[in-house]
Structure 1
């Protein structure tokens, strides 16, 4: 009997995963008229309370830089208020903007995934990446710099070799970062700072890195060029292609908030 119970656990887990997937697919964005009808059935205080719960949930997730899925918000927080989801998100966006100086940005419109971006950092040039005091942010800044300077995509061997020169060996446990390779290929990827994908038709398999969606939102390419200029005692304009890209991208407003 015990043997039979042990074997049923993975099946239960897979059923739960399938159920979550079904939950994701069953939610569709309510229409304006559906939202209006839904608002007639609740008080303003109830909507504000649910908005506060959404804000709290997102802030907790953001502490670990975990992107937030709309499906998780609906399932775990919004729940029975899903028919007024757009109104709740609209109020949450306003709260993040006015109270916290943050933008709630939808970085993946297909899967409806959000991140928080610090508007004040962007506006004042005080981003954590400009003066990285957190060692992991410093590590990430180096990796993003290499990718940017090499044209936007690099093979993983180049990243590992660069880190080795900085005495951060991905094959050894590091005093500050622990398992370096896991931090880079798992944590930074999960946080959407990096994309890590297999290069097609390579045998044995080879992988490459690109900037992730969060990096595009939070990291200034112009600041990276300034850093490289100081490092090599050159003007940022010395790298003409990167200079054009940095200043064309910095002119765009990539931090517009989403109300989806």
Structure 2
């Protein structure tokens, strides 16, 4: 328990994934066939069939499975949890997940959030208070998170959607050229359009009726849950030596987002 903060911080450091449904479901894609809603009698029977020790062990296995997935920022599907971990304990899925969620919150300072109710896809987000002056979920020692934060800032300041060439041109000004292999990031375009997208920090979408084909970026579901828009605005303000209030529309959106998260 004494390691709570350190473990949670480590989780946020390792946290730094959409291209399409095909990429999100990068394991075996069997939809949600592994899980059907049990009846109340099935739940009661399962509670009687398994001992508290057995259920405790299964809860621990689920927590471990999700933490391992989160190390690579892989969104977690209900069907994978059931198929690979819960298995014959399916009727107790809700009981097990509620207990796992309490462990994430109380022990690790994390929160399991469902970001796709239709396909039942989850991510872990950091519930601990950020260090003053540091943007939420950004790790100063990790260059990739800095790269991501710059891109999220561009998208936010441009109204929530931005063509990819705007992002590439911005990065080029920072001496990060997508046309060249970067010393720190390697293939920059692959990191941005595949890794960050798979982790659901970014969405990378085709723009209809464009020739040649163009794409645009938006904030992904994980960014919406994890990243403070006010921190983004403060970051931009520092770059331009201006107060966040200088950007009226963005400031209104940021303050609205802060209050809705409380």
Q: TM-score, normalised by structure 1?
A: 0.86
State the Cα distance separating 1:132 from its structure 2 match: 2.4
Matched, 1:184 2:192: yes
2:231 aligned to which of 212, 216, 223 = 223
1:157 aligned to which of 156, 165, 178 = 165
| Corresponding residue SS for 1:251 | helix
1:89 aligned to which of 86, 92, 97 = 97
Could you tell me which residue of structure 2 aligns to residue 51 of structure 1?
A: 59
Matched, 1:40 2:45: no
Could you tell me which residue of structure 2 aligns to residue 11 of structure 1?
A: none
Moved more, 43-52 or 21-30: 21-30
Change in CA separation of 1:59 and 1:26 when aligned onto 2, cut-off 3 Å: closer
Unaligned runs of 5+ in 1: 1-16, 255-260
Matched, 1:144 2:168: no
State the Cα distance separating 1:98 from its structure 2 match: 1.0
State the Cα distance separating 1:30 from its structure 2 match: 2.4
State the Cα distance separating 1:24 from its structure 2 match: 2.5
Equivalent residues, number: 237
Matched, 1:64 2:72: yes
| Corresponding residue SS for 1:146 | helix
Change in CA separation of 1:147 and 1:39 when aligned onto 2, cut-off 3 Å: same
Distance 2:184 2:38 in 1: 47
Matched, 1:207 2:201: no
Unaligned runs of 5+ in 2: 1-24
Distance 1:183 1:65 in 2: 13
State the Cα distance separating 1:122 from its structure 2 match: 5.1
**Off by >6 Å, runs of 4+ in structure 1:** none
Matched, 1:240 2:248: yes
Q: Residue 29 of structure 1 contacts residue 86 of structure 1 at CA under 8 Å; is this kept in 2?
A: no
Matched, 1:171 2:176: no
TM-superposition CA deviations, 1:88-141 (whole Å, max 9, x none) = 101100111111111011111111111111100459775555562200000000
Distance 1:201 1:168 in 2: 29
Matched, 1:100 2:108: yes
Distance 1:181 1:121 in 2: 32
The structure with the greater share of residues assigned to helix is: 1
| Corresponding residue SS for 1:114 | strand
State the Cα distance separating 1:235 from its structure 2 match: 1.1
Could you tell me which residue of structure 1 aligns to residue 7 of structure 2?
A: none
TM-superposition CA deviations, 1:54-93 (whole Å, max 9, x none) = 0001111111111111111111111111111111101100
Matched, 1:115 2:123: yes
Q: TM-score, normalised by structure 2?
A: 0.85
Q: Residue 130 of structure 1 contacts residue 223 of structure 1 at CA under 8 Å; is this kept in 2?
A: no
Higher relative contact order (CA 8 A, sep 6+): 2
State the Cα distance separating 1:196 from its structure 2 match: 0.4
Distance 1:119 1:148 in 2: 22
TM-superposition CA deviations, 1:140-168 (whole Å, max 9, x none) = 00000000000000000000010111000
Between structure 1 and structure 2, the one with the greater Rg is: 1
